[in-house]
Structure 1
Amino acid sequence: MEGHVAGIYVPSRGSGDWRCLLADPEKHWRLGYSAVSLAESWEAAKGLPNEIGQLLSSFGSPSELLLALPEHKVPLPGSHRGHSQNDLFALIRVGDQTLAAMVEGKVDESFDKPLGEWLINASTGKRERLNFICDLLGLRQPLPHTIRYQLLHRTVSAIIEAKRFKTDMAAMFVHSFSVKRSWFADFAEFVSLFGVDAEPDRLVCVRPEHTPPLYLGWATGARAGVGATGS
């Protein structure tokens, strides 16, 4: 697996700066869809959006956004393009601890392909990548073919970066802007792999014995152009 490429980052001047980082800036940047909604929400909050703060309130300590990196790539083994391009990586202080969180923005988009479809005619590289992910997440194969692959590699990205930044905790949040909570059932099925039940707008620890401990959460925000999510 290739390592990270060192980068120099400059402060964002607004949500428009997020657009150029997308894999396809023309296709993915549309009002009412996840990329715009996520960017507008986090930019407007000037820190943590309220719904993310509510997730973290279960720790019982104040939380503070230290760093946020849109479209953050985390290398994974298995191919020359083997990386997870996460919608947002957030480094967060919670009381006297730090949390490395991957944030996946959603409106009505799915979590990409189910594992059964992703594994059709799977290359050796794909198999290697899935083995790596399952080992790091502590999941036993075979996994149900209905599990969404995107949730697997987004979550393992959080653990990789938590280890790299030496944070106390790791987390993957789905930041949803769907009033119908579209695709929550898929998220809940993924969480159930760890023997835990998922609830909207509640943070759950799925691997308390892990180093670092792993948390998963679903936060519900307002879609861009519909209402504010932060202050």
Structure 2
Amino acid sequence: MLLVGNLLRILRNIHRTRVYIPSQGPASWQAFLAEPGKQWRTGYSAKALAHCWEDNDGLPNEIAQMFDAPAELLLALPEHKVPLDGGNRDSQNDVFALIRFRDQTCAATIEGKVNEPFGPTVGEWFSNPSHGKRERMRHLCSLLGLDEIPPSHIRYQLMHRTASALIEARRFKTDEAAMIVHSFSRERMWFEDFVMFLRLFGLDAEPDAASVLTLKSGQRLRLGWASGNSDFLAR
């Protein structure tokens, strides 16, 4: 167990650099989790997501369907951290993917879900906010083109995952950004949270379909909910 623990710490330190090691299969993803021993469990999103993406050797079909043209995976980085203003905690995205469709490229953050909620609401996270939280909220609202702090029932995680995609789209100079929820829940748990998030932008959400808008900044943003194959929950 000591050797395994040391290996996980080494791999997490490697993940903080700009050098990435090719995956040897789904098990390679475990080391990059915030809590590898706790989060790597059969029936949960981290493990299901890893098996799904590795088995497809490219874009899972349900992710490819989020685009209005044949889509190709150029690069996928599990547990990709994106720095955000305010505080010292990055947004750790389940998958960051560079995707090509037609003559366009997209920087996409993928949020894996089964039964796990999207974390605290804006009202919970922003209750009695510190200076750092105020700075972060201003940063997120600016990136998302929001004129005011979202209603208290909106899930904070959906805000910073989408902001991560926008930040990385600028960094890689892609044509658009995307935030896609990759859900393996048979009951589509927490879909209503996604619906309410899209309403911030005047959009209607439908499962297995993407909505596209252009933000005030001029950035094009794609938002979608993709239903994953629940067979991966048994892996």
TM-score by length of 1: 0.91
TM-superposition CA deviations, 1:207-231 (whole Å, max 9, x none): 2665330110000012354589xxx
Cα offset, 1:80, TM superposition: 2.3
Give the equivalent residue in structure 1 for 2:229. Answer: 222
TM-superposition CA deviations, 1:79-102 (whole Å, max 9, x none): 122x10000000001111100000
Q: Which runs of 5 or more structure 1 residues have no equivalent in the other structure?
A: none
Q: Does 1:84 align with 2:95?
A: no
Cα RMSD, aligned residues only: 1.5
Q: Does 1:108 align with 2:115?
A: yes
1: distance between equivalents of 2:22 and 2:149? 43
Give the equivalent residue in structure 1 for 2:213. Answer: 206
1: distance between equivalents of 2:127 and 2:216? 34
Contact 1:40–1:224 (Cα < 8 Å) also in 2:
no
Q: Which has the higher helix share?
A: 2
Distance 1:97 1:225, change over 3 A: closer
TM-superposition CA deviations, 1:60-87 (whole Å, max 9, x none): x321000000000000011122x10000
TM-superposition CA deviations, 1:101-158 (whole Å, max 9, x none): 0000000000000010101221110010011000111012131100000000000000
Q: Which has the higher contact order (CA 8 A, sep 6+)?
A: 1
SS at match of 1:55: coil
Cα offset, 1:43, TM superposition: 0.4
Q: Does 1:26 align with 2:32?
A: no
Distance 1:132 1:12, change over 3 A: same
Contact 1:133–1:156 (Cα < 8 Å) also in 2:
yes
Give the equivalent residue in structure 2 for 1:157. Answer: 164
The percent of aligned pairs where both chains have the same amino acid is 56
Q: Which runs of 5 or more structure 2 residues have no equivalent in the other structure?
A: 1-15
Name the amino acid aligned to 1:42.
W
2: distance between equivalents of 1:39 and 1:120? 34
Name the amino acid aligned to 2:101.
V
SS at match of 1:151: helix
Cα offset, 1:7, TM superposition: 1.0
SS at match of 1:20: helix
1: distance between equivalents of 2:194 and 2:210? 13
Name the amino acid aligned to 2:49.
L
Cα offset, 1:12, TM superposition: 0.3
Give the equivalent residue in structure 2 for 1:17. Answer: 28
Distance 1:195 1:18, change over 3 A: same
From 41, 44, 55, the equivalent of 1:44 is: 55
Distance 1:119 1:208, change over 3 A: closer
From 151, 159, 162, the equivalent of 1:144 is: 151
SS at match of 1:68: strand
Name the amino acid aligned to 2:77.
L
Cα offset, 1:24, TM superposition: 0.2
